[in-house]
Amino acid sequence: MPILEVNNIETFYGGIQALKGINVHVNEGEIVTLIGSNGAGKSTTLKSISGLAKVKTGSILFKGKETMNKPVHETTLLGMAHVPEGRKIFSTLTVKENLLMGAFSVNNKQLIEERMEIVFGHFPILKKRLEQKGGTMSGGEQQMLAIGRALMMEPELLMLDEPSMGLAPIIVEQIFDIIKKLNEDGITILLVEQNAYQALNIAHRGYVIRNGEIVLSGKGSELIENSEIRDAYLT
C-alpha cells in the first residue's frame, strides 16, 4: 500500500520550471531512492512533498490524504520527516536543543525522553555530545544529528536529501548502514542521492530524474545494471 503518492506535480522557481510532472510513489516499508545529477530536480521533489516548495499542479497524497501546498509545519505533523540537504543543523544550539526542536510538537516530557533514548540507540555518539554546540561537530556527526533530530518526530516516512554529501566514504558507508537499519525498524524511506551506486544498492526501488522529469524507474538492482544509467550517473 503506498504511504506516499506524488502525482504529476509541477513546481516553479521564479519563472523557471523545476519539475515538469513528477510521478513517484512510496510503499510502506520500502526504501525508495531518487537519483539524478545536480539540478535535475531531486531536492525540489522532496521540498515539494514536505511543502517547502510551492507546487503549481498535481497532487500529493500522504497516507491517502491530500497534503499539497499545506504549510510545512502541518505536513510534518502528519508523520513525514525531511532531512534537508546539507544537514542544516542549528549550529549555535546544543545537540540536546537540536533534538528537542525535532520533538517541537510533542508536549509530553516523558515521551520526549523515550524518543531520545531511541535516537541514542541508533547514534550513541550523540549522547556523549549532548551539551556541545551543533556547529562544532564533524560532518558525519552532524548528519547523524540531523537524522536523529528527524527521528524525534517519530516519522512514518523519512525523507533524506543527500545524506552522503561531502562525507568521507567510510562515514558514508556507516550512514547507509543506518538507513538500512532504520528501514528494518519499520520506517519507510525516501532517499535522494547523487551517490547513485550506493543508493541503488540499498534501495528496493529507484527513480531516475533528469531535467525535472522521471526518465526511468525500476527495482534498485535492475537500475544498477542499466547501461544508460551506468553512463550517465555511475561514472
Q: Which residues bind another protein (CB under 8 A)?
A: 14-16, 37-40, 50-52, 71-74, 76-77, 81-82, 84, 88, 90-93, 97, 100-102, 104-105, 139, 149, 153, 165-169, 172, 194-195, 197-198, 201, 210-211, 230, 232, 234-235
CA dihedral sign of residues 107, 113, 114, 119: positive
Closest CB to another protein among 1 and 131? 131
CA distances from 130 to 114, 141, 182 (A): 15, 12, 22
Instruction: List b or e across 156-194, with b for residues whose CB sees 16 or more CB atoms inside 10 angstroms.
Output: bbbbbbbbbbebeeebbeebbebbeebbeeebbbbbbbe
- Specify whether the backbone of 21 is left (phi greater than 0), alpha (psi in -120 to 50) or beta: left
Comparison of 66 and 225: residue with beta carbon closer to another protein: 225
- Pair 36, 234: CB distance under 8 Å: no
Query: Considering beta carbons, is residue 90 or 120 the nearer one to another protein?
Result: 90
Q: How far is the CB of 92 from another protein (least distance, A)?
A: 7
CB of residue 178 to another protein, shortest distance in Å: 17
Strand ranges in the chain using DSSP code E only, listed in sequence order: 2-13, 16-27, 31-35, 55-62, 65-66, 80-83, 157-161, 188-193, 205-210, 213-219
CB of 82 to another protein, least distance (A): 5
| Residue number, 107 or 186, with CB nearest to another protein | 107
Residue 1 or residue 105: which is nearer to another protein going by CB?
105
- Tell the smallest beta-carbon distance from residue 102 to another protein (Å): 6
Q: How far apart are CB 103 and another protein at their closest, in Å?
A: 8
